[in-house]
Amino acid sequence: MADGSEALDARALERHARWLASEEGGERLELTGARIVGLRAIGWDLRLAVFTSTTFEACDLTMLYGSGLEASSCVFRRCGLEFAKLDGAHLVGCLFEDCHAVGLHLEGSRIEGGRFLGTGLSRSVWRNAVAESVDLSHADLRRADLAHARFVECDLRGARFDEATWAAVVFDDCRGAPDPGAPARNRPPEP
């Protein structure tokens, strides 16, 4: 399997769809150690799929439906994740490098130990998400929905928060968390 795309072919998606519907012949998509390059997976339904130590490189995952997806020690490099829905996902130790993730939905997700390097996250949705020990330094979080999100021991140095939604967001022991003395565009509004 040179590029790993055989692991995510139409048959695997069909088996996963049958599993989601509790139909005979269904099988949950679980992928470990694959390297997937150049896959076009626009709008695919990967709800509740499990990925471990899998690398996605130059893949188009735009509008992917991945609610409840589990990813551990995965790498997403130069991938399109625009408006992908990863609501309720559990992401552990994942690297997102040079990805386009405008409008990425992470509502209610748990992100642990991840890194978002050079990844555009403007207009992303973090509502009710928990991010713990996540590197978001220099992240573009302009116009992001951070309402009720909790950031614990995250690196937020140099992150941009212009016009972000701040209602009840919590920054707990984060480096570079918005400072009430910072310019208005980079801090939460006064209560």
Beta strands in 43-155 (DSSP E): 50-52, 55-57, 70-72, 75-77, 90-92, 95-97, 110-112, 115-117, 130-132, 150-152
Read off the pLDDT band of 189 (50, 70, 90).
Answer: very low
pLDDT over 90 at 191, yes or no: no
- Say how far residue 64 (Cα) sits from the centre of its chain: 11
Tokens of 6: 């055989």
pLDDT for res 179: 56
Q: Tell me the domains of the chain and their CATH numbers.
A: 1-180 (2.160.20.80)
Comparing C-alpha atoms, which of 85, 96, 183 is closest to residue 139?
96
Distance CA 106, CA 191 (A): 25
User: With contact defined as beta carbons under 8 Å apart, do 88 and 106 qualify?
Assistant: no
- Residue 95's DSSP bridge partners are 75, 115
Q: Is the pTM of this model over 0.85?
A: yes
Residue 26's alpha-carbon distances to 12, 23, 111, in angstroms, are: 9, 6, 28
Residue with tokens 């009710």: 128
pLDDT tens digits for 17-37? Answer: 999 999 999 999 999 999 999
Q: What is the CA radius of gyration of the chain?
A: 17
Which of helix, strand or coil describes residue 15? helix
Distance CA 157, CA 135 (A): 9
Q: What is the mean pLDDT of residues 37-52?
A: 95
Tokens of 55: 């690398």
Distance CA 154, CA 83 (A): 23
pLDDT over 50 at 2, yes or no: no
